């Protein structure tokens, strides 16, 4: 019996020691794996995306084109007013215009060959299509500028009201614009982006007057230019910022009310053409149509009997 107990105890101790050794060895292996540098993974080669191909194509074409010294500053100003501040934006834009002109021209060539047009008409069509492709990006840029300016004009009164509240609560003009940019980011992102850029210029060391003038020049909005003039004069002469902002906000409300009244007065004139071409024909068809039908139905038998 003693020998049996001895063998059993020996086997249990040996099994426990083996299990403990295996567990400790596994923990040591996991610790070494964590400390070891990651093994390089072989990433399969993937095809570049169409957006990346398009960007690279446009960038190379725009870089190959000669830049105009007179038109480049105007193009940069327009891109900035449209909210496009990338340093390579003019190069991309020129590349897009060239690619669009070539694409429209090739499409016109294909249509002319398929339709069997004459040489003169085909040349005129291809030239017109290429010119249209060259003009379309600029028209889109101008439309985007107008939309952004309209968004800034729409959000300026609310921004002024919030600025008055911030100034009256004791904040400076720099902290006020920063707070307005944070609070109105969802409702009016256009004007908030411009206030954020102005604050970045102030942090970079620019004078406040220069940052305000840059704000007016970037946007090209007349109401914002007037606000900048008010803020510059207030900062120069040391007058009350809250009173100046409150007065300017009231002035903007009056201007907005006058613009609304002007649009309402133009509405009657603008409705003449839709009424004349759309409403009146339908009204005549409804009112005069049955009468003409009865007259024709009654008069034709009388004319035939005569």
Whether 175 and 223 map to the same domain: the answer is: yes
CA distance 203 to 206: 7
Nearest to 155 by CA among 108, 190, 193: 190
Whether 213 and 235 map to the same domain: the answer is: yes
Alpha helices in the chain (DSSP H): 2-35, 50-64, 71-81, 89-115, 119-168, 173-183, 189-203, 208-219, 222-237, 241-270, 272-274, 280-305
Nearest to 103 by CA among 72, 61, 56: 61
CA distance 72 to 240: 41
Query: Which residues lie closer than 8 Å to 156 by C-beta, 6 or more apart?
Result: 191, 221, 223, 224, 227, 252
Residue 259 lies in a domain: yes
Whether 135 and 207 map to the same domain: the answer is: no
Residues of the chain with pLDDT below 70 are 1-16, 18-21, 32, 34-49, 51, 54, 66-67, 303, 305-306
Q: Which of 121, 146, 171 is the last residue of a domain?
A: 146
Whether 215 and 241 map to the same domain: the answer is: yes
38: which 2 tokens? 């990651």
Whether 155 and 140 map to the same domain: the answer is: no
Q: Which of 96, 131, 146 is the last residue of a domain?
A: 146
Residue 82 lies in a domain: yes
For residue 51, give the DSSP letter: H
This prediction has a pTM of 0.71
Whether 162 and 251 map to the same domain: the answer is: yes
Whether 257 and 186 map to the same domain: the answer is: yes
CATH number at residue 197: 1.20.81
Whether 170 and 248 map to the same domain: the answer is: yes
Direct distance between the N- and C-terminal alpha carbons of the chain, in angstroms, rounded to an integer = 145
pLDDT score for 193: 92
Whether 92 and 167 map to the same domain: the answer is: no
Whether 93 and 133 map to the same domain: the answer is: yes
Residue 196 lies in a domain: yes
Nearest to 95 by CA among 64, 138, 126: 64
pLDDT score for 77: 92
Residue 232 lies in a domain: yes
pLDDT score for 151: 92
pLDDT digits (tens, 9 = 90+) for 125-171: 889 999 999 999 999 999 999 999 999 988 888 898 899 888 888 88
Whether 162 and 239 map to the same domain: the answer is: yes
Domain that holds residue 160: 149-267
CA distance 108 to 123: 9
Whether 93 and 195 map to the same domain: the answer is: no
CA distance 183 to 192: 9
CA distance 226 to 252: 10
Query: How many structural domains does the chain have?
Result: 2
For residue 276, give the DSSP letter: I
Q: Which of 87, 121, 146 is the last residue of a domain?
A: 146
pLDDT score for 141: 94
């Amino acid at each position: 019996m003693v020998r049996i107990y001895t063998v059993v105890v020996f086997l249990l101790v040996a099994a426990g020691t083996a299990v403990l050794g295996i567990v400790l060895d596994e923990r040591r292996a996991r610790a070494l794996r964590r400390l070891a540098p990651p093994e390089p993974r072989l990433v399969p080669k993937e095809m570049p995306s169409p957006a990346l191909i398009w960007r690279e194509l446009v960038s190379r074409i725009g870089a190959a084109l000669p830049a105009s010294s007179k038109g480049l500053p105007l193009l940069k100003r327009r891109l900035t007013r449209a909210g496009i501040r990338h340093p390579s934006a003019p190069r991309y834009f020129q590349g897009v215009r060239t690619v669009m002109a070539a694409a429209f021209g090739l499409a016109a060539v294909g249509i002319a060959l398929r339709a069997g047009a004459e040489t003169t008409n085909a040349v005129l069509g291809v030239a017109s299509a290429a010119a249209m492709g060259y003009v379309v990006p600029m028209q889109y840029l101008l439309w985007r500028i107008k939309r952004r300016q309209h968004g800034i004009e729409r959000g300026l009164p609310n921004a002024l009201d919030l600025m008055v509240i911030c100034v009256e609560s004791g904040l400076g003009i720099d902290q006020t614009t920063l707070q307005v940019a944070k609070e109105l980011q969802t409702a009016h992102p256009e004007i908030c982006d411009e206030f954020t850029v102005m604050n970045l210029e102030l942090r970079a060391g620019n004078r406040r007057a220069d940052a305000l003038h840059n704000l007016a020049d970037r946007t090209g909005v007349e109401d914002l230019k007037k606000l900048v003039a008010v803020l510059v004069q207030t900062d120069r002469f040391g007058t009350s910022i809250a009173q100046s902002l409150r007065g300017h906000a009231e002035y903007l409300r009056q201007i907005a009310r006058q613009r609304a009244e002007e649009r309402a007065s133009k509405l009657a004139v603008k409705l003449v053409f839709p009424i004349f071409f759309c409403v009146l024909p339908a009204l005549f068809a409804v009112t005069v149509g049955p009468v003409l039908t009865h007259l024709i139905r009654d008069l034709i038998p009388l004319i035939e009997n005569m």
